[in-house]
């Protein structure tokens, strides 16, 4: 498979360390808040990547962290621990906060048809204590591994200790800034405050491996004994220690959001080199953001806190959101708006309606159409070119292949897309005939061309057929009269 590798600054052919096997680590959520749709997009992307590898016949070993200690507000070393801050404001323990939000992660994964990192459907009855069996690794369960890794880094001369913390000395890694190509001197902005907090810190880009329970953190609730005194780990060491523990001294793919390119991932890579003498990860793959479109900017905190419940409140199905995410390559920004969601819903329902027609035409059990399966694999292979997959599906529907074969083949593709196509075809509540959808499309064209007379007459025609187009500021819905 080809993927966009951030360090190679381009699309490269992924060569697994072991033929036919992929080892993959995904940076997971810090569990102190309900994930917004930008977070969720990342997990949908990596779910598609995971399923694509499975479809292409690879064995996949994958894990994801759940950060429940050490992640500071504002990503600075001397902020407040996000979990502890949230726990004290809600009057509960850090563990309770983490458990509460791990539960919401499982719920959101399940709603969006995202598999667990181990490749299983999420069972909402899953006990929180058992998440590790499903590939979710909790940071607080890996403290000994983190301490051991810091000791290795220390043994290799890449650390220094102050009264407040143990730091990674980034000057020891010659290509520390390889992700961004910046020089180290440019990395000083915003870091002045931290130097003020700890006068022993040598360079603003140095980062905490172990924070001591002194000064500002004297009363930090979560703390463990270590060779450097009582304290807690820095955020970055968590991912390095857990990924190496679970996947070994070398593994294939490390995924994360583009927001990790300037700090978190250079730090993880530096730790890996500092401890193991090698960079450990073959390919760093990053997903782009979800940006809020014009019609979303008025909502709470500029829209960046849209969560799945808001999708339902806006009258959409989770599958509409999954369709929207699936239709855009992971490496491209998504402009999220109600209009975009309407578009995704209409495309999804149009697809379901075409599949339903095929089902009515179908005669007996179908077979996979190998020619199309091969082309589907080529699309996946081509850096997860999913928009090409949607075009391929349309082409197949219009082809002269047998309806039952087309149907079976599309359901097979849905193992990767996870749009519940078969279940939706069976769900008659969604039934909107193809003719209606075509008329709606023509009406939209007329409106765009400002031919309102034609648009109105098509609307009348649609009404005569028992359907109604309900316009709103951000799109339209089709409803049965
Ligand atoms: Zn990470």
Tens digits of residue pLDDT in 369-395: 999 999 999 999 999 998 899 999 999
Q: What is the whole-number distance in angstroms between the Cα of residue 317 and the centre of ligand 1?
A: 30
Q: What is the whole-number distance in angstroms between the Cα of residue 243 and the centre of ligand 1?
A: 9
Q: What is the whole-number distance in angstroms between the Cα of residue 307 and the centre of ligand 1?
A: 22
Q: What is the whole-number distance in angstroms between the Cα of residue 175 and the centre of ligand 1?
A: 19
Q: What is the whole-number distance in angstroms between the Cα of residue 356 and the centre of ligand 1?
A: 43
Q: What is the whole-number distance in angstroms between the Cα of residue 234 and the centre of ligand 1?
A: 11
Q: What is the whole-number distance in angstroms between the Cα of residue 314 and the centre of ligand 1?
A: 32
Q: Is the pLDDT of residue 77 over 70?
A: no
Q: What is the whole-number distance in angstroms between the Cα of residue 352 and the centre of ligand 1?
A: 38
pLDDT of 314 reads 85
Q: What is the whole-number distance in angstroms between the Cα of residue 94 and the centre of ligand 1?
A: 20
Residue 78 and residue 84: Cα distance in Å, rounded?
13
pLDDT of 300 reads 42
Q: What is the whole-number distance in angstroms between the Cα of residue 146 and the centre of ligand 1?
A: 13
Confidence of residue 473 (pLDDT cuts 50, 70, 90): low
Q: What is the whole-number distance in angstroms between the Cα of residue 90 and the centre of ligand 1?
A: 26
Q: What is the whole-number distance in angstroms between the Cα of residue 54 and the centre of ligand 1?
A: 23
Report the share of the chain in percent with pLDDT over 90: 61
Q: What is the whole-number distance in angstroms between the Cα of residue 445 and the centre of ligand 1?
A: 46
The arithmetic mean of pLDDT across residues 24-34, rounded, is 90
Q: What is the whole-number distance in angstroms between the Cα of residue 247 and the centre of ligand 1?
A: 14
Report the share of the chain in percent with pLDDT over 70: 92
Q: What is the whole-number distance in angstroms between the Cα of residue 407 and the centre of ligand 1?
A: 40
Q: What is the whole-number distance in angstroms between the Cα of residue 28 and the centre of ligand 1?
A: 7
Q: What is the whole-number distance in angstroms between the Cα of residue 110 and the centre of ligand 1?
A: 22
Global confidence as pTM: 0.86
Q: What is the whole-number distance in angstroms between the Cα of residue 441 and the centre of ligand 1?
A: 44
Q: What is the whole-number distance in angstroms between the Cα of residue 257 and the centre of ligand 1?
A: 10
Q: What is the whole-number distance in angstroms between the Cα of residue 116 and the centre of ligand 1?
A: 17
Q: What is the whole-number distance in angstroms between the Cα of residue 264 and the centre of ligand 1?
A: 7
131-153 per-position pLDDT tens digit: 999 999 999 999 999 999 999 99
- Three state DSSP letters for the chain: CEEEECCCCEEEECCCCCCCEEEEEECCCECCCCCCHHHHHHHHHHHHHHHHHHHCCCEEEEEEEEECCCCEHHHCCCCCEHHHHHHHHHCCCHHHHHHHHHHHHHHHHHHCCCCCCCCCCCCCCCCHHHHHHHCEEEHHHHHHHHHHHHHHHHHCCCEEECCCEEEECHHHCCCCCCCCCCCHHHHHCCCHHHHHHCCCCCCCCCEEEEEECCHHHCCCCCCECCCCCCEEECHHHHHHHHHHHHHCCCEEEEEEEHHHCCCHHHHHHHHHHHHHCCCCEEEEEEECCEEECHHHCCCHHHHCCCCHHHHHHCCCCHHHHHHHHHCCCCCCCEEECHHHHHHHHHHHHHHHHHHHHHHHHCCCCCCCCHHHHHHHHHHHHECCCHHHHHHHHHHHHHCCCCHHHHHHHHHHHHHHHCCCHHHHHHCHHHCCCHHHHHHHHHHHHHHHCCCHHHHHHHHHHHHHCCEEEEEECCEEEEEEC
Q: What is the whole-number distance in angstroms between the Cα of residue 304 and the centre of ligand 1?
A: 21
Q: What is the whole-number distance in angstroms between the Cα of residue 27 and the centre of ligand 1?
A: 4
Q: What is the whole-number distance in angstroms between the Cα of residue 48 and the centre of ligand 1?
A: 19
229-260 per-position pLDDT tens digit: 999 999 899 999 999 999 999 999 999 999 89
Q: What is the whole-number distance in angstroms between the Cα of residue 135 and the centre of ligand 1?
A: 15
Q: Which residues lie at CB < 5 A from ion ligand 1?
A: 27, 239
Q: What is the whole-number distance in angstroms between the Cα of residue 220 and the centre of ligand 1?
A: 22
Q: What is the whole-number distance in angstroms between the Cα of residue 155 and the centre of ligand 1?
A: 23
Q: What is the whole-number distance in angstroms between the Cα of residue 431 and the centre of ligand 1?
A: 43
Q: What is the whole-number distance in angstroms between the Cα of residue 213 and the centre of ligand 1?
A: 23
Q: What is the whole-number distance in angstroms between the Cα of residue 63 and the centre of ligand 1?
A: 11
Q: What is the whole-number distance in angstroms between the Cα of residue 230 and the centre of ligand 1?
A: 24
274-332 per-position pLDDT tens digit: 999 999 999 999 999 888 876 665 444 444 678 999 998 888 999 999 999 999 999 99
Domains along the sequence of the chain with CATH: 2-287 (3.40.50.620), 291-431 (1.20.120), 432-481 (no CATH)
Q: Is the pLDDT of residue 397 over 50?
A: yes
Q: What is the whole-number distance in angstroms between the Cα of residue 272 and the centre of ligand 1?
A: 12
pLDDT of 198 reads 85
Q: What is the whole-number distance in angstroms between the Cα of residue 86 and the centre of ligand 1?
A: 20
């Amino acid at each position: 498979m080809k993927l966009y590798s951030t360090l190679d600054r381009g699309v490269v052919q992924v060569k697994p360390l072991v033929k036919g096997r992929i080892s993959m680590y995904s940076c997971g959520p810090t569990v102190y808040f309900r994930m917004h749709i930008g977070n969720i997009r990342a997990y949908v992307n990596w779910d598609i990547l995971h399923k694509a590898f499975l479809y292409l016949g690879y064995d996949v070993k994958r894990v994801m962290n759940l950060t429940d200690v050490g992640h500071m507000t504002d990503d600075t070393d001397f902020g407040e621990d996000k979990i502890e801050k949230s726990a004290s404001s809600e009057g509960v323990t850090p563990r309770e906060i983490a458990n509460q939000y791990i539960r919401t992660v499982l719920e959101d994964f399940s709603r969006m048809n995202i598999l667990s990192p181990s490749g299983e459907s999420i069972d909402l009855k899953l006990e929180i204590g058992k998440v590790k069996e499903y590939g979710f690794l909790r940071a607080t369960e890996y403290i000994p591994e983190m301490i051991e890794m810091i000791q290795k880094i220390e043994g290799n001369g890449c650390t220094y200790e102050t009264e407040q913390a143990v730091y990674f000395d980034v000057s020891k890694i010659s290509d520390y800034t390889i992700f961004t190509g910046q020089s180290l001197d440019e990395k000083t902005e915003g870091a002045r405050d931290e130097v003020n907090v700890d006068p022993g810190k040598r360079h603003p880009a140095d980062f905490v491996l172990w924070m001591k329970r002194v000064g500002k953190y004297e009363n930090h609730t979560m703390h463990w004994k270590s060779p450097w005194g009582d304290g807690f780990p820095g955020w970055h060491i968590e991912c390095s220690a857990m990924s190496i523990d679970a996947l070994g001294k070398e593994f294939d793919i490390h995924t994360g959001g583009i927001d990790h390119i300037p700090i978190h991932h250079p730090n993880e890579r530096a730790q890996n080199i500092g401890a193991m003498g090698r960079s450990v990860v073959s390919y760093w793959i990053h997903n782009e953001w979800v940006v809020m479109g014009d019609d979303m900017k008025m909502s709470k905190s500029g829209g960046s806190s849209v969560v799945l419940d808001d999708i339902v409140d806006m009258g959409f199905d989770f599958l509409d959101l999954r369709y929207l995410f699936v239709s855009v390559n992971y490496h491209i920004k998504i402009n999220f708006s109600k209009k975009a969601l309407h578009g995704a819903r209409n495309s999804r329902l149009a697809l379901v309606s075409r599949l339903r027609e095929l089902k009515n035409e179908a005669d007996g059990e179908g077979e996979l159409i190998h020619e199309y399966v091969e082309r589907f694999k080529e699309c996946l292979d081509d850096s997860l070119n999913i928009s090409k997959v949607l075009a391929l599906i349309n082409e197949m529907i219009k082809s002269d292949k047998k309806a039952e074969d087309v149907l079976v083949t599309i359901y097979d593709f849905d193992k990767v897309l996870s749009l519940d196509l078969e279940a939706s075809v069976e769900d008659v509540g969604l039934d909107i005939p193809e003719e209606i959808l075509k008329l709606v499309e023509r009406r939209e064209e007329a409106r765009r061309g400002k031919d309102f007379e034609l648009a109105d007459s098509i609307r009348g025609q649609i009404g005569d057929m028992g359907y109604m187009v309900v316009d709103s500021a951000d799109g339209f819905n089709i409803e049965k009269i």
